[in-house]
Structure 1
Amino acid sequence: MELLFVVLGAALVGLGLRYLLPGRDTYGSAVLPAVSAAVAAAVWAGLTWIGWTFDGGWIWWASLVAGGVLAIATALILAPRRRHRDVALFDRLSRP
């Protein structure tokens, strides 16, 4: 049950980051929440396998922060690459 809560929390973190970070017009609206939720679920599962308990606060912080950090990295990598590829495609298509 706690895994569901951490995934939902991470999705909300990713959704919030979508509106705080620049370049949101270059990727889909569900990319950052999906990345954040997937990473948080994987981190949560890995930490429970190594013995961290779900009632400790550190597992929550580690999972949510890892999801948020990778969502930020995704946004900062995707936006410039997409803009660069869009310009290159426009240049290629606009030539006779």
Structure 2
Amino acid sequence: MYILLALVGACALGIAVHFLIADRELRGVVLAPAIATAASAILYTGLQWLGVGEDSIWLWVASVLGAVAIAAVGTLAITALRKRSDATARTALGI
């Protein structure tokens, strides 16, 4: 059940990531929160399988803040790819 706390925290901070990164019109509103939530689930589960207990601060730091960092990097990368793709399409169309 504690995984839900990590997932909700990562999702909420993922929403903040969406609004803090520029060019919001180039991506969907759920991209950053979805990446943060998925990364949080993977990190939390992986650390639990490795034997890190729920009372360890590193489980929570990695599964919440680590997931937000992954979401920020992923969102920046996808936004950059979208900008490059749009520029290529504009030059191909002669706009």
- TM-score normalised per structure 2: 0.90
Deviations 1:20-62 (A, max 9, x none): 1112221110010000010111000011111111122221111
| Residues paired across the two proteins, number | 95
CA distance in 2, matches of 1:29, 1:72: 13
- What is the root-mean-square deviation of aligned Cα atoms in Å? 1.4
Q: Specify the alignment match of 2:14 in structure 1.
A: 14
Following the alignment from structure 1 to structure 2, what is the Cα–Cα distance between the partners of residues 75 and 31? 7
Q: Which residue matches 1:89? A: 89
Identify unmatched segments of 5+ residues in structure 2: none
Contact conserved, 1:15 with 1:33, CA < 8 A, in 2?
yes
Counterpart in 2 of 1:71?
71
Structure 1: gaps spanning 5 or more residues: none
- Distance in 2, matches of 1:93 and 1:55, equals 57
In structure 2, C-alpha distance between the alignment counterparts of 1:22 and 1:4, rounded to whole Å? 29
**What percentage of aligned pairs have identical amino acids?**
27
TM, length-normalised to structure 1 = 0.89
SS at 1:29 equivalent: coil
